[in-house]
Each structure stands twice: as structure tokens, then as C-alpha cells.
């Protein structure tokens, strides 16, 4: 999902689940919150979809297959299992979709070469240094995701501050319009996080920078 717009992670999971289920279904507040948790845990979209597919394939061959799966929560255990397999593959260097060292090096290089103001350049340089020294532990790359999210907020705040209050208000308005269709479909807390991600993408892309998230690669 490199370069994906905010909301794609959520929408892709919704559409995949509904299409595999076989008939229209509105996701519940709990379902949207579950997707949001997967996103914050740094689980790549392809791993979530793999887990959802495993759960629905298993249901299709179970005694209860005549009964429709009523919630995305039915797939939670299978997604957790898919995440465990992915984490083990990362630790063994066997994951086909992500080379952690190369991905972190690419993020660091982007931060080091971006045209930034003094405050954001200082933040970016510190993040790049830490990325280049990162050594995956037993938890692998997923343990890095919360740290990346925290540092991204720091960098975005510096970019917005350098741009000035008027520019910040304009970007907030543009992002709000872009995501308006999600407002009535998601819980308020999940929508607020989506807006936050939209702002982050907008500020970072304005300087040619990617999102600081391996879950979106």
C-alpha cells in the first residue's frame, strides 16, 4: 500500500470481508474499531486480508456454513494467527513482502535528503539516525510501529508549525472534505484517527516524504 491515501486500509478490509461474505453488510462500531486496532498494531493490509480469508474459508467448510458470518470479529483469531506467522517470518528473514532492513534504510534516506525547515530537519535527522541503528528484536518489526507513529507525529507537528497557522487551517479543511464520506460510517474516535493520518500524509507528501509506517508498505 505504498503511497495509499488514508482510508484505503479500512476500506479495503471492509470491501474484502463483505465480498467474501456474499451479501451486503454494514460494519458495526466494533468492526471499525477492530480494523483501527489492526492498523495501530502495524499489521500490513495483506496480512489482515490473509487472516480474513483463512477465517471465511474455514467457515465455508464448517458445520455452521449455512449460517452467515455476522461480524468481522469472527475473523479476529485468524488475523492474529496470520500476524504471528508473519512475525516469525520476519525474524527468520523469510517474509516475501517486506525486507525490514531495506525498508528502514529507505525511510532514513528519504528523511535525510528531504528539503526541510530547520525544526523539521532536526527532527528528521534524529529519526533517521535511530532508524539506521534499529535492530529487530524477538517481536520483529511490529514492535517498531508504535515508535514510528510517535516520531511521525513529532515530525508532522514541526512541518505544520513551519508552514504557519493559515496553511495549517487550509490543510485541515482539505483533509476534512476528502474524508467527509467516512464521518457517518465510523465511530467518532476511529474517524478522528483517520483525519490525523490524513493530515500526516498531506504534510509529509508536501516535502516528498512517505508515511513513517511499515504497515503501509
Which of 24-38, 96-110, 115-129, 188-202 is the least confident region? 96-110
Assign 102 a pLDDT band (cuts: 50, 70, 90): confident
Assign 64 a pLDDT band (cuts: 50, 70, 90): low
pLDDT digits (tens, 9 = 90+) for 69-96: 678 888 899 999 998 888 777 665 555 5
Same domain, 54 and 131: no
Same domain, 110 and 189: yes
Largest CA distance in the chain: 63
Last residue of a domain, one of 58, 91, 124: 91
Work out how many domains the chain is built from and give that number: 2
Same domain, 82 and 142: no
The residue range of the domain holding 47 is: 8-91
- End-to-end Cα separation, the chain, in angstroms: 5
What mean pLDDT do residues 156-167 have? 95
Same domain, 204 and 126: yes
Same domain, 151 and 201: yes
Of residues 6 and 52, more confidence is placed in 52
Closest of 5, 26, 41 to residue 144, by C-alpha: 41
Same domain, 211 and 112: yes
pLDDT digits (tens, 9 = 90+) for 11-25: 889 888 888 776 666
Last residue of a domain, one of 91, 121, 151: 91
Establish if 3 belongs to a structural domain: no
* Structural contact between residues 117 and 209, judged by C-beta atoms closer than 8 angstroms: no
CA angle 103, 107, 109 (to 5 degrees): 115
Last residue of a domain, one of 41, 62, 91: 91
pLDDT digits (tens, 9 = 90+) for 136-155: 554 555 567 788 889 999 99
Which string of DSSP letters, residue by residue, matches 102-157? Answer: HHHHHHHHHHHHS---HHHHHHHHHHHHHHHH----TT-GGGGHHHHHHHHHHHHH
Residue-level pLDDT at 6:
61
Establish if 2 belongs to a structural domain: no
Amino acid at each position: 500500500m505504498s503511497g495509499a491515501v488514508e482510508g484505503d486500509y479500512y476500506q479495503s478490509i471492509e470491501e474484502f470481508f463483505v465480498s467474501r461474505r456474499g451479501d451486503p453488510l454494514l460494519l458495526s462500531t466494533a468492526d471499525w474499531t477492530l480494523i483501527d486496532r489492526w492498523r495501530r498494531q502495524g499489521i500490513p493490509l495483506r496480512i489482515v486480508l490473509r487472516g480474513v480469508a483463512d477465517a471465511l474459508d474455514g467457515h465455508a467448510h464448517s458445520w455452521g456454513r449455512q449460517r452467515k458470518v455476522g461480524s468481522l470479529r469472527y475473523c479476529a483469531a485468524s488475523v492474529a494467527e496470520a500476524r504471528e506467522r508473519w512475525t516469525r517470518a520476519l525474524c527468520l528473514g523469510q517474509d516475501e513482502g517486506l525486507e525490514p532492513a531495506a525498508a528502514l534504510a529507505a525511510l532514513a534516506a528519504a528523511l535525510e535528503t528531504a528539503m526541510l525547515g530547520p525544526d523539521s530537519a532536526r527532527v528528521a535527522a534524529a529519526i533517521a539516525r535511530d532508524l539506521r541503528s534499529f535492530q529487530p528484536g524477538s517481536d520483529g518489526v511490529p514492535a517498531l510501529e508504535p515508535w514510528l507513529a510517535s516520531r511521525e507525529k513529532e515530525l508532522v507537528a514541526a512541518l505544520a508549525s513551519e508552514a504557519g497557522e493559515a496553511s495549517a487551517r487550509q490543510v485541515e479543511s482539505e483533509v476534512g472534505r476528502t474524508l467527509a464520506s467516512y464521518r457517518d460510517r465510523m465511530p467518532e474516535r476511529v474517524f478522528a484517527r483517520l483525519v490525523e493520518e490524513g493530515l500526516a500524509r498531506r504534510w509529509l507528501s508536501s516535502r516528498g516524504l512517505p508515511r513513517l509506517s511499515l504497515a503501509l508498505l
